Amino acid sequence: MKIHAGYEIAYDCLQPTPMIITLSVHPSLRSNLLTPDQMTLHPHVPMTEYWDRYGNICQVIRAPASRITLSADFFIQDSGETDEVAPGATQRPLETLPVETLVYLLGSRYCETDRLSNFAWATFGKIPQGWTLVQTIVDYVHNHVTFGYPHANVSRTAFDTFTEGKGVCRDFAHLAVTLCRCMNIPARYCTGYLGDIGVPPDPAPMDFSAWFEAYIGDRWYTFDARHNEPRIGRILIARGRDATDVAITTSFGPHQLVGFSVTTDEVAPEELKAVP
């Protein structure tokens, strides 16, 4: 299966403004690209690329005191398979976990494990460990939180989502990540593209999506507390402790978002010949 994806995002800056941008397809998927995932800046400004501590590709720019538009347009190959389901995956004792997973057990900016630990153990402490425990947490978050774009709030934490019972996909992910960490399951936040492939079309404008990965057995598995069903065609951009680590843009100065569009579509059979 081939997917057409990309974005066009515009900001107005009141003064020259440094930005860190995290919008490139994750290195683990680069070999699947059929055309380059190359960010274009208008107007053109110098750009430095680097890999952050979590293995994500980032760019650093100094936006001018005017409007700047970031865009990309590419095709990528996808297996066409849904997220893997492994009901038999077991939970490893904390002391035997790979050391690189341990950071994903700790509290972070949006994931306050200290405020939700008592609730988590009281609610999930008797659930069989492993896949069943993670899925039970996902079911709880999916049913407890009401999704709605008007509920978006960039400062909302997992505890806020827990008490308010509303949010967008990042809030679902933050709450599920936090509850998993409370139960000694490493969990990391993910962001990327997720189109309406294999599901009824969503009439809302396309946006980037947030989900999470939990470490059980001997590997990371994908879970999605908002949709709570295996999906097709996830295109990972970045992973981190929470949304702080994977923000699409981190600005070091005043700016205003003035344009935002995302494309994620399966290439129709009649269009395949035109795809490299």
- Cα(20)–Cα(175) distance, integer angstroms: 26
- Report yes or no: 119 and 181 within 8 Å, Cβ to Cβ: no
Percent of the chain with pLDDT over 70: 98
- Cα(83)–Cα(200) distance, integer angstroms: 17
Q: What's the pLDDT tens digit per position in 67-96?
A: 999 999 999 999 999 999 999 999 999 999
Contacts of 160 (CB under 8 A, 6+ apart): 153, 171
Q: What is the chain's alpha carbon radius of gyration, rounded to the nearest angstrom?
A: 19
Which range, of 30-34, 137-141, 265-269, 270-274, averages the lowest pLDDT? 270-274
Give the structural domain span for 171: 94-244
- Report yes or no: 18 and 68 within 8 Å, Cβ to Cβ: no
Question: Distance of CA 124 to CAs 130, 134, 172, Å?
Answer: 12, 10, 17
Q: CB 80: neighbour CB atoms within 10 A?
A: 13
pLDDT of residue 273: 66
Statement to judge: residues 72 and 102 lie in one domain: no
Statement to judge: residues 65 and 172 lie in one domain: no
Report the CATH number that the domain containing residue 45 is assigned in CATH: 2.60.40.2250
pLDDT of residue 85: 97
Statement to judge: residues 158 and 110 lie in one domain: yes
Considering the domain boundaries, does residue 186 fall inside one?
Answer: yes
Report the CATH number that the domain containing residue 101 is assigned in CATH: 3.10.620.30
Statement to judge: residues 123 and 220 lie in one domain: yes
- Report yes or no: 247 and 54 within 8 Å, Cβ to Cβ: no
Statement to judge: residues 135 and 230 lie in one domain: yes
Considering the domain boundaries, does residue 89 fall inside one?
Answer: no
Number of structural domains (the chain) is 2
Statement to judge: residues 227 and 258 lie in one domain: no
- Report yes or no: 250 and 56 within 8 Å, Cβ to Cβ: no
Q: What is the DSSP letter of 138?
A: H
Contacts of 258 (CB under 8 A, 6+ apart): 10, 11, 12, 67
Q: What is the mean pLDDT of residues 240-263?
A: 96
pLDDT of residue 276: 67
Average pLDDT of the chain, as a whole number: 96
